[in-house]
Structure 1
Amino acid sequence: MAAQTSDQIIEQPSPEALNPNMDLLRFATAGSVDDGKSTLIGRLLLDSKAIFEDQLEAVEATSQSKGYDYTDLALLTDGLRSEREQGITIDVAYRYFATPNRKFIIADTPGHAQYTRNMVTGASTADLGIVLVDARHGLTEQSRRHAVLLSLLRVPHLVLAVNKMDLVDFDQETYTKIHQEFTAFATKLNIPDLEIIPISALQGDNVVNRSENMPWYQGPSLMHHLEHVHVASDRDLVDVRFPVQFVVRPKSDEHHDYRGYGGMVAGGVLRPGDEVIVLPSGMTSKIAGIDLFDQEVSEAFPPMSVTVRLEDDLDVSRGDMIARVRNAPTPSQDIDAMVCWMTNEPLRPRQKLAIKHTTRTGRALVKDVQYRMDVNTLHRDQETKELGLNEIGRVQFRTTVPLLCDPYSKNRTTGSFILIDEATGVTVGAGMING
């Protein structure tokens, strides 16, 4: 059942999408304005039969009322009224759907430079990023910008979708030129896995089904790639990291002795009997058991949300972290990070902000802005000592509480944080900790 507000419709995940036993892929779409991101997602939802008949009928009726001779699939995702009026994506729109092989969470992110902060938000948790380019225009500044951002955010898998191939008569030479240009550009970035797929989101070529119009392309369709790309090995399964979110103490007489610690596994594999350390106190114990909903499990790994029980009664609370005794993060109050600034008031040295890292909160002082990065050219501007709206740069902080962190390149959960304006409670920045 969809919950409706005055401006947008928020779709709830289907029961299939909530099946805990099915593999989950989070992916984000990016690209220049009008490259067809929302249309592509609409096509994925339509051809994978993830939308209801009444939704499709409403979109068809709206398309006809606008005089279109085709169904505007972008209307399935551009939910904000201002998006529909301008024909662009402004906010991050999340959509859920599932196939027999995998369940998906899509983040449809904005293409315009002024919404960089929204794009960073949508891509920060993605396993895979899709950058769309218009086959008629080739790579643009925005295409490169979004590839750089996805690389900076350490999104491990990247797909370049060469869209609107129908408007260039499915020309192989056009695709080859874009393929060669982007491959050369990608060598400057940290992109472990790259796939380049020619598609037509409007007509459905190579989106879910292989296209008969491009027999020269022998690779997978976009959906086949999304269903089969291997993401389990992208997560850190070596370094145990379990940030405690809350203490579980049931009030019923039946479980009056129960004491567990709930949270999401951020790294490594937890098993009963493992010797662990609780930080920052440094107390050690062993795992007595791991509970998932109402059943006990033999192990827990990212991104499972579980309750961990310890053999000893220790003082453990929200913000603490459970790790392996011989492989624990080093607490640090001096943080060096790449920061994306998200508000109009610039980030400057000596500024004081609230900081939230995993489940731990504290205050942070901006010690120094080392440089601002031009994400189009990768140039580092060391003269400017502040960050403006949507700008990214390297910043050093001093925190009031030690953070139990890892480099972002090693663990995207324990290597990231958000900055909050203490007066308004608004999130004003997102950080990625350097190694």
Structure 2
Amino acid sequence: MQKPLFMLTAKWIASTTLLAALFGPNAAFAAPSEQSENTATLIVRSSADATFESLHDMPRLNLDWVLRAERGKMTEFAPELTDLYVRVAGPAMENRTFRMTRSGRLWEENTGEQIVLPWKASARLLQEGEVLRERHYGRLLRWQEADRIFYRNCVFTVQDLETGLSFQVQRRAGRDHADVQPLTREDTKVMNLIYGGQWSWKRRAIVVRLGEERVAASMNGKPHGGDGIPDNDFSGHFCIHFLESTTHKSTVPDVAHQMMVYKAAGQSRAFTSTAAPERLAESLVHAMNERDPEWVRLLTEGVELIKQDEVLRKMGALAAVRSAAPRRQDAVDAVDALVIPLTWSVELYPSEGERRNATWNMRYIRTSFFSPWQSIDILFEPENVRAR
């Protein structure tokens, strides 16, 4: 039904009044006659390497502020990044893509350069980004609720958050999470393509869709267990996890699956903000084992960039990594501490070569007793080839 004209007019007046109040007469907008050949596009994607992205063109954004903005020095530490990107194209900008920091600056990964924007421009970009993020991600939904919505034998759609590829599945079973199967041979082909042509237990962030529902979830890609759909070229089922769901063998949610659920909701930082240092260290090992550079960047946000790059290089050379539980180097009560050093033993499984043992040391800090913990240093002790 068409909305009354007075309702649309009131909404337009309210929105333009808000923009005027927020940005004022000197806002970073340009009248159509003042627009240059340069263009700006706001982007949301779950990682720097994701090919699936949500876009919002900003034709009335004057790009002069990018050209005139104060250039920041190359930082020695990893900036607090968001999932927002700004792509600027045109003769003056040479098709450059910047990533936004939490403070509203633009950061170029290749050069390490930061651009300090006028606060009105950064506020506009961050505000528009929030709207775009709601469209890009799924919502967090506890397993008890998801269990009712995605009931047994129902058919729903799975969308991979990194590639954007979608396929249909049918839930066949599962008490603590959903056991599902690709619906047809074509669905199996798409799922196999998402996993690079090789089935694995690797967790992936996904959004599952049924009707108007868009829910954050995590899947693995390994056919196992019972089979219920003939002729779909998928021997067995695979698992989909939701918020607080568990595996069949544990009453505790799988950390790696929960990380991907939060990622699929666009709330990775909410996962880390309430975590103790031991959980953060454990999550770093899971991130490396899942070969997820975006999680690695978030979990090493406070360390020097050179050390963060070392972690990413190690991840790239590993087929898998396992660790013992991290332990505190000192008898420190986390309730009363502001700095906690951790050490733990890890087993490294290189893509090529012998399995190795190593010891990792990290330091975590918080600015107050109510602030989240953040890593500030990581030290890798020499590795030893493990005796057979």
- TM-score, normalised on structure 2? 0.26
Instruction: Considering fraction of residues, name the structure with more helix.
Output: 2
- TM-score, normalised on structure 1? 0.24
